[in-house]
Structure 1
Amino acid sequence: MGGVPALLVVVRGAAGLLVTVSVVVTLRTGPVERSLALAFGALVAVGELTRWRGPQLREAAPLGAAGALAYALLGEAAGRPTHHGTAQVVTVVCAASLLGSVPHIARGQSPTLDHLARRVLTVGFAAVCFQPLYNRGVFDSWVGPAYALLLVALLTLTALCDAVLAAALAHARTRWPFGPLLRDELRALAGIGSAVCATGAVMALAVAAAGLWALPVFCVPLLLTQLSFRRYAAVRATYRQTIASLARATEIAGYTPVGHAHRVAALGLAVGRDLGLTEPELTVLEYAALMHDIGQLSLVDPVPAGATAALPPAEQRRIALLGGAVVRQTGVNPQVATVVERQADPYPEQPRAARIVRVVNAYEEKARDAGPGGALAALEELRLGAAGDYAPEVVEALARVLARGSLTAPAAG
Structure 2
Amino acid sequence: MSARPPLTLLIHVCAALLAAVCLAVTHHTGLEERPTALAFGVLVTVGELSRWTGARVREAAPLGAAGAMSYALLGEDAGQPTHHGVTQAVAVVLAAALIGSVPHIARGRGPVLDHLARRVLTVGFAAVCFQPLYNRGAFGEWHGPAYALLLLALLALTALCDAVLAAALAHSRTRWPFGPLLRDELHALLGIGSAVCATGAVMALAVAVVGLWALPVFSLPLLLTQLSFKRYAAVRTTYRQTITSLARATEIAGYTPAGHARRVAALSRAVGRDLGLTRPELTVLEYAALMHDIGQLSLVDPVPAGATAGLSTAEQRRIALLGGAVVRQTGVDPAVAVVVERQADPYREQPLAARIVRAVNAYDEKARDAGPGGPLTALEELRLATAGDYAPEVVESLARVLARDCLTLPAAG
Shorter-chain TM-score range: over 0.9
Q: Which amino acid aligns with 2:329?
A: Q
Distance (Å, rounded) in 2 between the aligned partners of 1:283 and 1:129: 38
Answering whether residue 380 of structure 2 is matched by residue 380 of structure 1, we say yes
Amino acid across the alignment from 1:63? L
Check if 1:138 corresponds to 2:149: no
Deviations 1:1-21 (A, max 9, x none): x62111001000000000000
Map 1:358-373 to 2 at 5 A: 358-373=358-373
Indicate if the aligned counterparts of 2:401 and 2:407 stay in contact, CA closer than 8 A: no
* CA displacement at 1:161 relative to structure 2: 0.9
The code of the aligned residue for 1:27 comes to H
What residue is the counterpart of 2:109 in the other structure?
109
Residues 1:302 and 2:306 are matched in the alignment: no
| Amino acid in structure 2 at the alignment position of 1:146 | A
Q: Secondary structure at 1:301's aligned position in 2?
A: coil
| Distance in 1 between residues matched to 2:147 and 2:171, nearest whole Å | 36
Instruction: Say if 1:305 and 1:223 are closer, same or farther in 2 by CA, change over 3 A.
Output: same
Cross-structure match for 2:81: 81
2:270 alignment partner in structure 1: 270
Per-residue CA deviation, residues 234-281 of structure 1 (Å, 9 max, x unaligned), is 110011011001000000000000110001000100000000000100
Q: Distance in 2 between matches of 1:201 and 1:407?
A: 45
SS state at 1:58 partner: coil
Distance 1:27 1:20 in 2: 10
Aligned residue in 2 for 1:243: 243
338 and 191 in structure 1: CA distance in 2 versus 1, 3 angstrom threshold: same
CA-CA distance at 1:369 after TM superposition? 3.5
Q: State the Cα distance separating 1:62 from its structure 2 match.
A: 0.2
Q: C-alpha distance in 2, partners of 1:402/1:143? A: 57
Which residue pairs with 1:232 in the alignment? 232
Map of 2:320 onto structure 1: 320
The Cα shift of 1:137 comes to: 1.2
Q: Which residue of 2 aligns with 1:205?
A: 205
Distance apart, 1:111 and its partner CA? 0.8
What is the aligned partner in structure 1 of residue 216 from structure 2?
A: 216
Provide the residue aligned with 2:191 in structure 1: 191
Q: Which moved more, 1:49-58 or 1:141-150?
A: 49-58
**What residue number does 1:280 align with?**
280
Cα separation, partners in 2 of 1:407 and 1:112, compared to 1, 3 Å: closer
Separation (CA, whole Å) in 2 of partners of 1:116 and 1:37: 19
Q: Distance in 2 between matches of 1:372 and 1:100?
A: 49
2: CA distance, partners of 1:332 / 1:146: 46
Give the secondary-structure state (helix, strand or coil) at the position aligned to 1:340.
helix
> Counterpart of 1:346?
346
In the TM superposition, what whole-angstrom CA distance separates every residue of 1:300-341 from its partner, at most 9, and x where no partner exists?
000000000111111100100010010011111110000000
Match of 2:333? Answer: 333
**Counterpart residue type for residue 383 of structure 2:** R
CA distance in 1, matches of 2:294, 2:162: 42
CA drift of 1:79 comes to: 0.1
Which residue of structure 1 aligns with residue 160 of structure 2? 160
1:212 is paired with a residue whose SS is: coil
Q: Which stretch of structure 1 is more off in the superposition, 28-37 or 69-78? A: 28-37
Equivalent position SS for 1:163: helix
Aligned-CA RMSD value: 1.2
Name stretches of at least 5 consecutive residues in structure 1 with no aligned partner.
Answer: none
Counterpart AA for 1:73: L
Is residue 250–residue 256 contact of structure 2 (8 Å, CA) maintained in 1?
yes
- Counterpart amino acid of residue 371 in structure 2: G
- In structure 2, runs of 5+ residues without a counterpart are none
**Shift of the alpha carbon at 1:57?**
3.3
CA distance in 2, matches of 1:407, 1:118: 30
CA drift of 1:408 comes to: 3.4
CA distance in 1, matches of 2:257, 2:9: 42
Q: Contact between 2:263 and 2:409, CA under 8 Å: does it hold in 1?
A: no
CA contact (8 A) 1:47 1:61 kept: yes
Residue pair 1:69, 1:123 contacting (<8 A) in 2 also: yes
Alpha carbons 1:368, 1:410 under 8 Å: kept: no
Deviations 1:133-175 (A, max 9, x none): 1111111111111111110110011111111111111100100
SS of alignment partner, residue 285 of structure 2: helix
| AA partner of residue 405 (structure 2) | G
Give every structure 1 segment of 4 or more consecutive aligned residues whose post-TM-superposition deviation is greater than 3 Å: 53-57, 407-413
- What amino acid is aligned across from residue 140 of structure 1 in structure 2? G
Q: Residue 22 of structure 1 aligns to which amino acid in structure 2?
A: C
Instruction: Please list the CA deviations of residues 8-48 of structure 1 after superposition, one character each: whole Å capped at 9, or x if unmatched.
Output: 01000000000000011101111110101110000001101
Moved more, 370-379 or 222-231: 370-379
- Secondary structure of the 1:325 match is helix
Cα separation, 1, equivalents of 2:315 and 2:325: 15
Q: Percent identity?
A: 80
The question of 1:399 aligning with 2:388 is answered no
Counterpart code for 1:388 = G
Matched length: 413
* Distance in 2 (alpha carbons) for counterparts of 1:301 and 1:398: 31
Do the aligned partners of 1:177 and 1:273 also contact (CA within 8 Å) in 2?
Answer: yes
CA distance in 2, matches of 1:147, 1:408: 56
SS across alignment from 2:284: helix
CA distance in 2 between partners of 1:281 and 1:44 (Å): 35
Which residue in 2 is equivalent to 1:355?
Answer: 355
The equivalent residue for 1:15 is 15
- Aligned partner of residue 238 in structure 2, secondary structure: helix
Superposition deviation, residue 387 in structure 1? 1.1
Could you say which residue in structure 2 is the equivalent of 1:127? 127
**Which region of structure 1 is more displaced relative to structure 2, 102-111 or 270-279?**
102-111
Deviation at 1:412, TM superposition (A): 4.0
CA distance in 2 between counterparts of 1:351 and 1:195 reads 35
Query: Contact 2:247–2:261 (CA<8 Å) still a contact in 1?
Result: yes
